[in-house]
Amino acid sequence: MNRIVFCPECRQDVKFSVRERPDTAELKGEVYDFTSKTAYCDECKAEVYVPEIEDENLKALYDAYRQRHGIISLEDIRAIPEKYNIGKRPLSLLLGWGEQTYSRYYDGDMPSKQYSEKLQQVLVDAAYYLSLLESGKDNLKSDKAYEKSKAATESLLNIAVSRESKLDFVVEYLLSQCQDITHLSLQKALYYVQGFYYAFFGNFLFEEDCEAWVHGPVYRDIYRRYSGYCYDPITSVGEPDVYTMPAEEKVLLDSVVKHICCYSGKTLEAFTHVETPWIATRANLPAEASTDKVIPKQIIGDYFSSVKDKYRMLTPANIKDYAQDMFSKI
């Protein structure tokens, strides 16, 4: 940004400073709160007009609109071509849109809810994008564009398959991102990762089963590994390789970190005690009875799929709605 601007009070070009402040504005009949910026002349302190700052303010207002209405962010729209190594025009054709439609959204136009949902799915689900690429390759005018994008997408998918233990990776990531996480909290976070991952992407993130213990779902091997911490925060943390982490996994895990791990282990235990997977697996067992009964993965998948539908979740960020509602009921 050019730091010199014309000041109408000083009648000359001057340097300016920028201040942020809470602001409100109306857009499409609704009022939104956002943070705006204002430029001031360094000489006379009068407000000055800076086009770039006005553009930033407009974007901040539209970002507030996108967030309220579940519309994909501009940053996420712009991340898609880079992720899959595809041009804007070919991508628009793969999506079944006009040649310039995606470019308009890339430049800041607001997509409809329907188009936004499709873009969100493309962003987080590499397998879905690959299916679009294969089915729509005849619409591309360049074999080179198809080959480059296919190679990038298969690389993303192969990374996910090649890891020796997905559960270990998820544990490392949660421990690295959650401050003061306890043994009890970790177990419940893993359970929610497994359930919500299935709900959004149609498959389970890791193969290991959890059991319906007295205090909720538990992954036995993880329990043995960290049981010595009891109620103390777990401090032994590895360093997960986040640079090879598929985008859909990071989006889901980050949402669980933000919206699930913020609650205590006992609170999350209370959540699981009113959810179908734990209740159905324990059946008529007394409250304090020990068991090694496995909670069937499909019960977990079906339950969280129904949660996603009930709360009309469009993206993993909507996990917040479920967690807040559960907390209000315990």
Task: State the Cα–Cα distance between residues 202 and 213, nearest whole angstrom.
Answer: 26
Band of residue 245 on the pLDDT scale cut at 50, 70, 90 = confident
DSSP-derived letter for residue 205 is: S
According to the model, what pLDDT value does residue 50 have? 93
pLDDT of residue 163: 45
Q: Give CA–CA dist 126/202, Å, rounded.
A: 13
Q: What pLDDT was estimated at residue 228? A: 72
What one-letter code names the amino acid at 121?
Q
Which of the following CATH numbers is that of domain 4-69: 3.30.1180, 1.10.3470, 1.10.260, 3.10.20? 3.10.20
Report yes or no: 70 and 116 within 8 Å, Cβ to Cβ: yes
273 falls in which pLDDT band (50, 70, 90)?
A: very high
Opening angle at CA 205, ends 256 and 298, nearest 5: 100
| Confidence tier at 254 by pLDDT (50, 70, 90) | very high
The pLDDT assigned to 323 comes to: 97
**Residue 79 · residue 124 · CB < 8 Å:** no
Which of 207, 204, 186 lies closest to 196, judged by CA? Answer: 204
Question: What percent helix, strand, coil does the chain show, rounded to 5?
Answer: 55, 15, 30
Residues 6+ apart with CB under 8 A from 204: 194, 197, 198, 297, 301
pLDDT band at 157 (very low <50, low <70, confident <90, very high): confident
226 has pLDDT over 70: yes
% of the chain at pLDDT higher than 70: 96
> What pLDDT, on the 0 to 100 scale, is given for residue 260?
96
158 vs 277, which has greater pLDDT? 277
Evaluate whether 74 touches 116 at the Cβ level (below 8 Å).
no
The pair of structure tokens assigned to 159 is 């990374």
Q: What is the mean pLDDT of residues 33-52?
A: 94
Whether the CB-CB separation of 181 and 261 falls below 8 Å is answered with yes
| Count of all residues that appear for the chain in the document | 330
313-320 mean pLDDT:
95
Contact by Cβ (8 Å): 64, 74: no
Q: Yes or no: say if 304 and 196 are a contact pair by the CB < 8 Å rule.
A: yes
Average pLDDT on 157-176 reads 76
Q: What end-to-end distance do the CA atoms of the chain give, in Å?
A: 51
Closest by CA position to 275, among listed 323, 206, 314: 323
Lowest-confidence segment of 96-100, 157-161, 181-185 by average pLDDT: 157-161
Residue 199 has pLDDT above 50, yes or no: yes
Average model confidence (pLDDT) across the chain: 91
pLDDT band at 95 (very low <50, low <70, confident <90, very high): very high
Specify the pLDDT at position 236: 58
Q: Where are the domains of the chain?
A: 4-69, 74-162, 166-329
Residue range 76-105: mean pLDDT, rounded: 93
CB proximity list for 234: less than 8 A, separation 6 or greater: 175, 181, 182, 183, 186, 226
User: What whole-number distance in Å separates Cα of residue 61 and Cα of residue 41?
Assistant: 24
Q: Residue 15 forms beta bridges with which residues?
A: 4
Residue 229's pLDDT is what? 79
Phi and psi dihedrals of 109, rounded to 5?
-65, 150
DSSP string across 273-317: TTSHHHHHHHTT--TT-----B--HHHHHHHHHHHHHHTT-SSGG
Give the CA radius of gyration of the chain.
Answer: 24
Residue 160: predicted pLDDT: 46
pLDDT level of residue 162 (50, 70, 90 thresholds): very low
